[in-house]
Structure 1
Amino acid sequence: RASARRTGRVQRVALLAGALLAQGTADARLFADLRAEDLEPREYELCHIEPISGCLSEFNTGRFDGAQMHRSMDFENETQALLRPPHVRLLLLLTTVWRNFQRRRLLRGALKVCRRFVDPSQVVWRFLLGEAPSWLMRRAIEEVAAHEDIMLLGGPDELAYSHIGDAYELHQANPEITKIVLAIRLLLRTLRFDYLLVADDDSFVNIPSALELADLLPKERVYVGNMIDTVPQRYDEASQRVKAEYTVNLYLRAPSKVPVFAHGMGFVLSHDVARLLGDMGLKLKSRGNDDMLMGLWLRSVEHMYYLHYWPMFIDHEEFGSPFSRPCDVTSVVVHRMTPERWRNFVPSECHLCGPAALPLDTVDDPPPRPAPKGPPATAGGSPACLQPEDLACLWRPSAEVVAAGEAACLGACQREARLNSTSAACPESICYALCQAPGPRNTLCPRIPRSVGYARPQHPSLVICIFGSAWADVRPRASLRSALRSCTAKRLGVR
């Protein structure tokens, strides 16, 4: 039996050797039609500097299709590595508005200093901005050209609201939450990250502490911040007013109007939660405070880690809010920063607990553009009449809301002026006159031709996307923009 087993092993070895020799012969026949230099490995990086045809020719030599597949497998891993987006440990999204140039300058300087204490490839930050108002366009272009941390997301840049007592009413989706969702959607295609940290532009972010915090967190379903649990309220008949309900039994049974959420000073999300927001955020409720909406969106996620790390997310001590705490070198986010408070920043250690030694940043932000006041401007003592087609070119919203009545149009006009979104070609002095309904009472436009109407379309008739423009192409953009405005002015109300 032992001899038979040895004979069997010898036969199996012989068969295996024969198969290998046959495979070698087959490989020799497979590549017999190729040149010797074609079989030598090449540096794949050369394809970045060679013409495309030069790289493709290597994979199209030979008469047998299997040859291309056999040789391309050697480069598969390298190809995937080149196409794979870069990976970072922490992504910072910093919400801001265009007029806060000083805040961005101070925060950007601190981030650059703190990044030196860690591996620079482990953290990336982006400032999220909407459309730049015309009166800030020059400064906006200078900042975008000087720094690579600006994300231009389009749409409204600032929150539009009106006060109702001590509360406020939103007229549109919160731009801050919209910018966060849009930024996540865009960055998911070009960047891989483990955790996302969102903060305001008036905050200090300690990058080393943030990365240390990331090492302590679970990898999935993470929501970290200074969590707020709103107290249920009830109407008290005795005092005839609304009171907070602290009775234990009633408190546990009373539904809270607002879910648990992380204070807007800063919060951290894991990659899977950030991807969920990027996929679903634009379809969810978006009128409200951005931090409260984040908690509202995430309340339905099963097995979410709500981590109340309140000592790491605080308001500055001098601000004096319930969330203020004494200075701590391990804090991740310190909110409510001012130029004076930035003087305590210690560049050599990346914290805010030092003496006020740094010079005060005295380059203030530009003042808000004033709202229009007074009567319409006159030329030579008499009002100048605007043609309806000029009206659409000067200030498009007026053509859309004028049909709602003079009072509604006046309110819209004043709101647009406060938000600095009127066109640069529209003088502020005629803003009030534009809000008057067409007719004898309108000193600027007493009548409109019958061929021109004020009907507002339910949706844009045409959307034109212009691509291929570089920052240096100022004149071509100006010429094209002028032509488009001239064409759209032919029909009042066209968007």
Structure 2
Amino acid sequence: MPSLCAAPRFCTPLAILATIHWVAQPCCCLRLGIMVTSRWAEHERRQTQRHAIHSCTPATGSGHDIELLFFMGDPHAEEEAAALREQAESGDLVQVGGPDTDPPVPRDATYVLDRPCARTFRLAHGTAWLAANRPEQDYVMYLDDDSFLNLPRLLFHLEHQATDRLAMGFVMETQLDWSSTHVCELCDPCEPCRNDTATLDFCAMFPDMSLGGCIMAVQNCQIFEDTEEDYTLARCVTEKHRAIARLAQYFGSTHAPRWMLGMGWVFGSRIVQYIGRNANRLKVRGAADVSLGFWLAPMEGVRFVSMNDGYFHDHPESKSIFARPCTDQSVLVHRMTPASWNAGFDAEKCELTCDGAGSIEA
């Protein structure tokens, strides 16, 4: 009978009545790639990730094979010398080409550009590089360069997944074009919104949107934009309406298939190979995280595992809608800053304390 690590991945042979049955068991020797997409200007973030991952690796125990790589676009001329020095010193940079940065867009906004989005391009072609050069890896952790990752806790979850079609992250299901949303979906009770004179007068300027769609646009503008004056708000709502129509047209749907927030996610090897083979055919002009849903939609048997309930979250100091305190369940903490790293990260213990609200312990 073969040993666990010599047997097919994710399963252990169990002999019963002279018949071999394969049953899912925790695996002792996972091969994990950590793929970080980064801009050339973010050298400090890469150094922090190197320190954190290398500090946490011993806490994972023996047997696991973990590799951290940074996937980069094309450097600007003034960055080429520094890029060469960093590669010579670290040896963990993979330049897959494409734009290094995108034009300024609001954080957390879904958008489409006239050319490939920097991170989306790097995700597609970085995955193709991994599929070709690291085909033995069981999983790839796609990590934002401002996220803290508790490696021991992540590996604990992966050891119990037993599928090469894993898609694990903060799972989202959203509308791309919400301009026809009914007002009663937003207001409970509904009548106060239906009878608010100021809202009705303002939204009358947008006959192509439902009242609910107009209210959603206003809410988006208040979250992402500085819209104190009515004329500024009207312009913002017009731009939001135009933007979501463009999204729906580009992706060919008013709804996005299930996708994962860009803070980080894990794909199994079968998904990595699938994306790698099709990298040149995938849509890459849209925001990276929403694009994932459309990449995965045609694939049979994807196993989505939600890490929404306090496993993957933003740092509490970020004040984002995805912010949570650190607890003993936290696996990934996004929107880290130099201050939060310095104040909360204990390299010896692979532990992160979030502003006294709890900690991630290895």
The alignment's TM-score, normalised by the length of structure 2, stands at 0.65
Question: d(CA) in 1 for partners of 2:110 and 2:52?
Answer: 35
Matched residue, 1:205: 149
Question: d(CA) in 2 for partners of 1:228 and 1:150?
Answer: 30
> CA contact under 8 A between 1:178 and 1:282: conserved in structure 2?
no
**Alpha carbons of 1:256 and 1:162: their partners in 2 closer, same or farther (altered >3 Å)?**
closer
Question: d(CA) in 1 for partners of 2:291 and 2:110?
Answer: 17
> CA contact under 8 A between 2:72 and 2:122: conserved in structure 1?
yes
Give the aligned residue type for 1:123: I
Question: d(CA) in 2 for partners of 1:91 and 1:329?
Answer: 24
> Which whole-Å deviations, capped at 9, do the CAs of 1:265-292 have from their partners, x for residues lacking one?
0111110011000011220211111010
CA drift at 1:167: 7.5
**Root mean square deviation of aligned Cα:** 2.6
Question: d(CA) in 1 for partners of 2:149 and 2:337?
Answer: 14
Question: d(CA) in 1 for partners of 2:322 and 2:110?
Answer: 21
Structure 1 residue 90 corresponds to structure 2 residue 89: no
Give the aligned residue type for 1:346: D
Structure 1 residue 195 corresponds to structure 2 residue 139: yes
> Which whole-Å deviations, capped at 9, do the CAs of 1:186-225 have from their partners, x for residues lacking one?
2223321111110111111111112111112131321111
Higher strand share: 2
Question: d(CA) in 2 for partners of 1:188 and 1:306?
Answer: 21
Matched residue, 1:431: none
> CA contact under 8 A between 1:224 and 1:269: conserved in structure 2?
yes
Question: d(CA) in 2 for partners of 1:317 and 1:130?
Answer: 31
Matched residue, 1:353: 353
Identity %: 27
Match of residue 302, structure 2, among 276, 301, 304: 304
Structure 1 residue 115 corresponds to structure 2 residue 113: no
**Alpha carbons of 1:299 and 1:195: their partners in 2 closer, same or farther (altered >3 Å)?**
same
Question: d(CA) in 2 for partners of 1:137 and 1:328?
Answer: 41
Structure 1 residue 137 corresponds to structure 2 residue 58: no
Question: d(CA) in 2 for partners of 1:162 and 1:230?
Answer: 19
> CA contact under 8 A between 2:313 and 2:333: conserved in structure 1?
yes
Question: Where do 5+ consecutive residues of structure 1 fail to align?
Answer: 1-86, 246-254, 357-495
Question: d(CA) in 2 for partners of 1:258 and 1:333?
Answer: 24
> CA contact under 8 A between 2:144 and 2:263: conserved in structure 1?
yes
Matched residue, 1:317: 316
> CA contact under 8 A between 1:162 and 1:170: conserved in structure 2?
no
**Alpha carbons of 1:313 and 1:332: their partners in 2 closer, same or farther (altered >3 Å)?**
same
Matched residue, 2:259: 261
CA drift at 1:150: 0.9
> CA contact under 8 A between 2:165 and 2:301: conserved in structure 1?
yes
Question: d(CA) in 1 for partners of 2:127 and 2:110?
Answer: 30
> CA contact under 8 A between 2:34 and 2:142: conserved in structure 1?
yes
Alignment of 1:14-93 (within 5 A): 89-93=31-35
> CA contact under 8 A between 1:193 and 1:271: conserved in structure 2?
yes
Q: Which has the higher contact order (CA 8 A, sep 6+)?
A: 2
Matched residue, 2:230: none
> CA contact under 8 A between 2:56 and 2:347: conserved in structure 1?
yes
**Alpha carbons of 1:175 and 1:215: their partners in 2 closer, same or farther (altered >3 Å)?**
same
Give the aligned residue type for 2:50: R
Question: d(CA) in 2 for partners of 1:123 and 1:317?
Answer: 28
Give the number of equivalent residue pairs.
259
SS at match of 1:178: helix
Give the aligned residue type for 1:170: L
> Which whole-Å deviations, capped at 9, do the CAs of 1:403-425 have from their partners, x for residues lacking one?
xxxxxxxxxxxxxxxxxxxxxxx
Matched residue, 2:42: 100
Matched residue, 2:227: none
Matched residue, 1:385: none
CA drift at 1:330: 3.8
Matched residue, 1:293: 291
Give the aligned residue type for 1:338: T
CA drift at 1:96: 0.5
Question: Where do 5+ consecutive residues of structure 2 fail to align?
Answer: 1-28, 184-193, 195-199, 204-208, 215-252, 357-362
Alignment of 1:56-455 (within 5 A): 89-118=31-60, 119=62, 122-160=65-103, 169-191=112-134, 192-231=136-175, 233=178, 234=180, 239=200, 240=203, 241-242=209-210, 243=212, 257-310=255-308, 311-343=310-342, 344-353=344-353
Give the aligned residue type for 1:217: Q
Higher helix share: 1
Structure possessing the higher radius of gyration over alpha carbons:
1
The alignment's TM-score, normalised by the length of structure 1, stands at 0.49
Alignment of 1:454-473 (within 5 A): none
